[in-house]
Amino acid sequence: MALSKGQMTRQKMINLMYLVFIAMLALNVSTEVLDGFVLINDNLQETIKVAEDRNNRIYADIEAASESNPQKAEEFFNDAKALKLETDSLFNYIQSLKLKIAQKSDGEDADINNLESKDNIDASTDVIISPVGGQGNKLKKDIDEYRESVLKHITDSAKQDIVRRTLSTEPSARAKKDGKTWLQASFERMPSIAAITFLSELQANVRQAEGEVLNVIAQNIDMKDLRVNSLNAYVVPQSNMVMRGTTYKANIIMAAVDTTQDLRIVINGKELPTEKKGLYEFGVGTPGNFEFSGYIELMDRLGNPLRREFTQKYTVMEPMATIAPLLMDVLYVGIGNDVSISVPGVATSNVTARVVEGGTLTPKSGGIWTAQPAAANIGKKFIISVSANVNGVNQQIATKEFRIRALPDPLPYIEYADQNGNLRKFRKGPLARATILNTRELKASIDDGVLDIQYKVLSFTTLNVDAMGNATKEMSNGANFSDRQLDQIRRMQRGGQIFITGIKARGPDGDRDLYSMDVRIN
């Protein structure tokens, strides 16, 4: 029988961390979740090592066959060398991207396998997505070219389909619905550890695709004895990442399986029914690292049972969600507060959120929701609960608390253009008489660097006290200085003071009485 050492691991990485953060936001991802990615990445490194060891044995067997029978095997040996060169080039390029992301996160001395700034959401975007120096287009091009190259060597349609799916750079249906490309869905604003884990998954898929082509080359030179001697059992999980409450699925296979007979598969002491065709599935519960073991048995050409044992590790992750307020951990009464809500690996359309207490929550688009705290809840909590539909099962993922605050007091100002034509805001102190007379309007706003909310001035009073101690009050014409107020200002001596008081303004939270302004005529 022909040599077959390994099958393509049918692993699909979930889309990791769609989280989008805009200026001055805090990422609310727990350390446990980030450490979960470390565990997954470590598991992937073991998968890569197993694939590399298997592939190296096949390379050695092909080389040995070429040395023993050059006329028959030299052509195939040359194909194998070309495949190795092409595979190593792509694998090493992906490794360099992992290093760049790590260095963007931790500095030039970064250790990929011991990342410190796991939650850095800018590194993967800078390295992959950035329009200046971003490597995304090259990565996609190299993967596409490699995929089409290896597919030319694989004749089995089922295996071709596996390679196409595991090395696909087409956005998923969910990503397309959200208007995202494959690069955006995979790398944009992802925590560094998530992006590195995804690149490790790509490396594992590249090594598995390499193994499929090597199997074909080995079969073509009919290395019968070597295949039998290197017979091994393998567990091919459909995913190495499992969310609590969902189902773990894996195919239990053996390299060089004789398709004319059924395999006997025993897992943890129980035989897998033959009608399952090697598909092993079970429910998962408590998060953590687990393993199962067993053996595969079939009859050799002499009718004797041939058994190979296996052990497979897997990681169960806690359901995770991140809720990122666009105004930090505070929600303000009177305005719509934008909040970004997403669950890694779950399409936006399958994520729902509700308010446990504190006000209302309304979906907008692209994972952005509008939180509207109730005015009666100032000083209390605003609690959001997030749920997601995962594999047809709706389950609660996480909750997040925010503090409810009233909007800060708006401040009045006189807007004018400086000598360069730039708009300025005058709030107190000396001001040229001509500036007031030319502007003629009083404005108010909250513009503390986070909020930018304009208020409409309804009325105000000007108060001037002359040298004799006589006070003169004049009323405005809405937001504008009245004619009497302007005459009052014209009559004032240089250095005289005028107080703008009794300022009333209207904003999204209702009417406000504002602080007075002290203006000295310059």
Angstrom distance (rounded) from CA 63 to CA 67 = 6
pLDDT category at 333 given cuts 50, 70, 90 is very high
Query: What is residue 156's three-state secondary structure?
Result: coil
Structure confidence by residue, pLDDT tens digits, 440-454: 899 999 987 778 899
pLDDT of 275 higher than 90: no
pLDDT of 2 higher than 50: no
Higher pLDDT pick, 88 / 172: 88
pLDDT of 303 higher than 70: no
At 369, give phi and psi (nearest 5°). Answer: -120, 155
Higher pLDDT pick, 279 / 31: 279
**Angle at the Cα of 413 from the Cα atoms of 410 and 418, rounded to 5 degrees:** 140
Q: Which residues pair with 395 in a beta bridge?
A: 388
The pLDDT > 70 percentage for the chain reads: 83
pLDDT category at 124 given cuts 50, 70, 90 is confident
pLDDT category at 237 given cuts 50, 70, 90 is low
Give 441's DSSP letter. Answer: B
Q: What is the mean pLDDT of residues 388-399?
A: 82
Distances (CA, A) of 506 to 159, 371, 410, 514, 521: 67, 22, 10, 10, 28
Every domain of the chain with CATH number 2.60.40.10 lies at: 322-405
Distances (CA, A) of 327 to 28, 284, 340, 453: 13, 37, 11, 13
Structure confidence by residue, pLDDT tens digits, 151-163: 988 888 888 898 8
Query: What is residue 56's three-state secondary structure?
Result: helix
- Tokens 């539909």 belong to 389
Every domain of the chain with CATH number 2.60.40.1930 lies at: 231-318
pLDDT of 26 higher than 90: no
At 194, give phi and psi (nearest 5°). Answer: -70, -45
Classify domain 322-405 by CATH architecture: Sandwich (2.60)
As a residue count, the chain comes to 522
317 by Cβ neighbours in 10 Å (0-12 / 13-18 / 19+) ranks as buried
322-332 and 393-405 beta bridge pairing: parallel
At 207, give phi and psi (nearest 5°). Answer: -65, -35
pLDDT of 384 higher than 90: yes
Q: Which residues pair with 312 in a beta bridge?
A: 292
Q: Which fold has domain 231-318?
A: Immunoglobulin-like (2.60.40)
Give 144's DSSP letter. Answer: H
pLDDT score at 369: 93
Nearest one of 453, 504, 448, 456 to 336, comparing CA atoms: 453
What pTM was estimated for this model as a whole?
A: 0.42
